């Protein structure tokens, strides 16, 4: 298998756009509580959000040569997502590569290792999610792979799958499921809006959530 695969099947742009309107938690719940990437991988700023097709990278720890190649080959709108062994003590990405990403129109960068120059990256406005912030530099020695299946944060991510990230976390949606998950996310948001209106009208949580029978079956007692 080649080190670099450039021809991948991406989720349809309309499906990516539809999913981008929903939060990561909504998408995770809507698709059956699937796809949540480990919560240790966080945005470097809470206001950062990203949504786009995954451009996957497998890298050796403390090495960013494959990440640099990914920036070269990625298309506008792609989210570069790199698995590098959950190695926290390395800053594989900073403001110089951040500017390279912006020039290419890359939607964001996700890695299970560290990043640095975070204040500059925040000013750039490029969404960056990482396992750590670390000032230690990396080498450019070991070849890995671009656009193979990777495991990151306990989830398998395939090239072209949709990645949505925000302050709550990261979730992956299989590219072939993207349209249906967007539909289910919309339905969930509409249902939750109904719950909120019910609470505002004075209905109780036990009533709105249909908890009475459940609590009775579990033998709940109160002093009322």
Looking up residue 139, the CATH number of its domain turns out to be 3.50.30.40
Residue 194 lies in a domain: no
Residue 222 lies in a domain: no
Range of the domain at 161: 13-182
The reported pTM is: 0.95
Residue 213 lies in a domain: no
β-strands 150-152, 128-130 pairing: unpaired
If residue 150 lies in a helix (H) or strand (E), which one and from where to where?
Answer: strand 150-152
Domain count, the chain: 1
Q: Is the Cα torsion angle 119, 122, 126, 130 positive or negative in sign?
A: positive
Burial classification of residue 19, based on how many CB atoms lie within 10 Å of its CB (0-12 exposed, 13-18 middle, 19 or more buried): buried
Residue 107 tokens read as 């939607």
Residue 195 lies in a domain: no
Residue 130 lies in a domain: yes
68-102 residue pLDDT tens: 999 999 999 999 999 999 999 999 999 999 999 99
Average pLDDT over residues 196-204: 96
């Amino acid at each position: 298998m080649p080190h670099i695969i450039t021809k991948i099947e991406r989720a349809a742009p309309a499906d990516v756009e539809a999913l981008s309107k929903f939060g990561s938690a909504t998408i995770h719940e809507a698709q059956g509580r699937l796809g949540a990437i480990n919560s240790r991988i966080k945005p470097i700023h809470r206001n950062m959000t990203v949504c786009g097709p995954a451009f996957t990278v497998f890298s050796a720890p403390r090495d960013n040569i494959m990440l640099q190649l990914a920036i070269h080959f990625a298309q506008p709108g792609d989210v570069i997502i790199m698995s590098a062994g959950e190695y926290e003590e390395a800053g594989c990405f900073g403001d110089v590569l951040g500017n390279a990403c912006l020039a290419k129109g890359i939607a964001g960068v996700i890695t299970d290792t560290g990043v640095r120059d975070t204040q500059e990256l925040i000013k750039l406005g490029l969404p960056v999610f990482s396992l750590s912030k670390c000032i230690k530099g990396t080498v450019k020695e070991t070849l890995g792979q671009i656009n193979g299946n990777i495991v990151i944060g306990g989830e398998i991510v395939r090239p072209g799958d949709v990645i949505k990230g925000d302050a709550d976390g990261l979730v992956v949606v299989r590219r072939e499921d993207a349209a249906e998950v967007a539909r289910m996310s919309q339905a969930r948001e509409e249902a939750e809006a109904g719950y909120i209106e019910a609470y505002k009208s004075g209905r109780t949580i036990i009533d709105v959530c249909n908890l009475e029978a459940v609590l009775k079956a579990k033998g709940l007692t109160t002093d009322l």
